[in-house]
């Protein structure tokens, strides 16, 4: 059922005014056991920035006086499972009345860890699978991770209480494999699958072969749209970008970049931002010298008033009212132009 767009836009504007923090990323480590071609973060196998001590993060959370219902701390990295105290972190988060979840590459998600993570109250989980074996291993820059990730996915689906989904990063190399991946995920018991593309930020700026061209992006939108009609798996495009005529066909709702509206993050060095993949020029404070709640309530103006994004290719675009300058991670800083636009309504594109 399609929700009336006008009503949704009023709802969105009310949400922006309300700006309730209910989804907080914690970049709990920058250590990673992979070296993916597309990674947007600065992670590495060893890093100069040490893992943030649990107590430092908990101290920041305690500044939030009344966490909203289903307030979720999303542990990300790097690879969070490289931290041996993730379970302890989760338990401490639950003691504050908050939920927690994990984004993982799946390599370390083994039965023993699955059990201890569930014991610690993990409520949601996302594992990445970037195509069939050749494509996945290529993008992950590792010879044999595919099988381990498939095993991890099967393990995760065995816990029905988990709000679990698989994410796939779509590239020109795996675009033609999506139907096969869908079959595989179905056989593994996956119920939700989220697809995203690579934006020309981070390491991807050095490897343009990772990016879909307009024709390929259209092919992806058509695949998602058609699959949503027939598949038992709930397939959707991520919230990364406005999609023009495909809005509401590739997601349950219209595009709404909630960075700085409902989504915040505490980065590995203590920086307070919106999404972890937002440009570091948009950092709003640091938990080591600021109060997290106070920063959330009093700063983040560039995220809540996006009039500044109406420049360059957005300046005369008739879609601006709907997309508000697209995803914030597609801006390299305040007052800087959008790095790319995925709106597919060619007639209205003025670039």
Greatest distance between any 2 Cα atoms in the chain: 55
Beginning with the edge strand found earlier in the chain, give each strand of the sheet holding 285-286 in spatial order: 234-237, 192-197, 163-170, 122-128, 99-104, 72-76, 23-27, 263-266, 271-273, 285-286
CB of 23 to another protein, least distance (A): 6
- Which of the residues 176 through 205 are near another protein (CB under 8 A)? 192, 194, 196
The reply on whether position 304 binds another protein by CB under 8 A is: no
Q: In whole angstroms, give the CA distance from residue 19 to residue 72.
A: 15
DSSP letter (8 states) at residue 90: H
Q: Answer for the pair 302, 279: CB distance below 8 angstroms, yes or no.
A: no
The reply on whether position 23 binds another protein by CB under 8 A is: yes
The reply on whether position 280 binds another protein by CB under 8 A is: no
CB of 267 to another protein, least distance (A): 13
Taking the alpha carbons at both ends of the chain, their separation in whole angstroms is 33
- Total of chain residues touching another protein, rule CB under 8 A: 63
CB of 279 to another protein, least distance (A): 14
- Which of the residues 243 through 262 are near another protein (CB under 8 A)? 251-253, 256, 258-259, 262
Q: Return the ∠ at Cα 25 (arms to 96 and 11), rounded to 5°.
A: 90
Choice from 101, 145, 157, 343 touching another protein (CB under 8 A):
101
At 242, is the secondary structure helix, strand, or coil? coil
Q: Answer for the pair 85, 50: CB distance below 8 angstroms, yes or no.
A: no
User: In the beta sheet, which residues pair with residue 164?
Assistant: 125
Which residue lies nearer to another protein by CB, 87 or 290? Answer: 87
> Tokens 């960075």 belong to which residue?
259
Choice from 92, 165, 247, 322 touching another protein (CB under 8 A):
165
225: alpha, beta or left? (left if phi > 0; alpha if psi -120 to 50): alpha
The reply on whether position 84 binds another protein by CB under 8 A is: no
The reply on whether position 238 binds another protein by CB under 8 A is: yes
The reply on whether position 72 binds another protein by CB under 8 A is: yes
CB of 120 to another protein, least distance (A): 7
Binding piece for another protein, criterion CB under 8 A, among 129-137, 235-243, 281-289, 337-345:
235-243
Question: Applying CB under 8 A, which residues contact another protein?
Answer: 1, 3, 7-8, 10-11, 14-15, 17-18, 22-23, 25, 40, 69-70, 72, 74, 76, 91, 94, 99-103, 115, 118-126, 158-161, 163-165, 167, 192, 194, 196, 238-240, 251-253, 256, 258-259, 262-263, 275-277, 327, 329
């Amino acid at each position: 059922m399609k929700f009336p767009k006008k009503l949704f836009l009023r709802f969105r504007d009310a949400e922006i005014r309300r700006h309730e923090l209910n989804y907080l990323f914690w970049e709990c480590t920058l250590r990673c056991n992979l070296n993916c071609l597309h990674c947007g973060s600065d992670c590495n196998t060893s890093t100069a920035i040490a893992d943030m001590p649990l107590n430092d993060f908990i101290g920041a959370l305690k500044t939030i006086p009344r966490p909203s219902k289903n307030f979720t701390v999303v542990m990300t990295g790097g690879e969070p499972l490289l931290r041996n105290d993730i379970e302890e972190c989760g338990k401490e988060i639950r003691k504050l009345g908050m939920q927690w979840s994990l984004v993982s590459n799946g390599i370390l998600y083994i039965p023993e860890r699955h059990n201890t993570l569930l014991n610690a109250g993990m409520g949601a989980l996302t594992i990445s699978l970037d195509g069939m074996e050749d494509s996945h291993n290529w993008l992950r820059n590792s010879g044999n991770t595919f099988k381990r990730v498939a095993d991890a996915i099967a393990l995760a689906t065995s816990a029905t209480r988990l709000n679990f989904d698989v994410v796939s990063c779509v590239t020109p190399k795996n675009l033609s494999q999506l139907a096969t991946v869908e079959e595989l995920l179905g056989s593994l018991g996956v119920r939700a699958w989220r697809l995203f593309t690579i934006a020309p930020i981070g390491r991807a700026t050095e490897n343009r072969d990772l990016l879909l061209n307009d024709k390929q992006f259209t092919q992806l939108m058509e695949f998602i749209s058609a699959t949503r009609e027939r598949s038992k798996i709930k397939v959707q495009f991520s919230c990364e970008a406005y999609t023009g005529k495909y809005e509401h066909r590739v997601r349950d709702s219209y595009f709404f970049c909630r960075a700085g509206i409902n989504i915040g993050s505490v980065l590995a060095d203590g920086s307070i931002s919106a999404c972890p993949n937002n440009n570091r020029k948009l950092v709003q404070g640091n938990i080591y010298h600021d109060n997290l709640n106070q920063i959330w309530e009093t700063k983040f103006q560039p995220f809540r008033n996006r009039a500044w994004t109406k420049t360059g290719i957005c300046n005369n675009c008739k879609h601006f009212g709907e997309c508000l300058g697209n995803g914030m991670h597609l801006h390299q800083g305040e007052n800087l132009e959008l790095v790319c636009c995925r709106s597919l309504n060619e007639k209205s594109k003025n670039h």
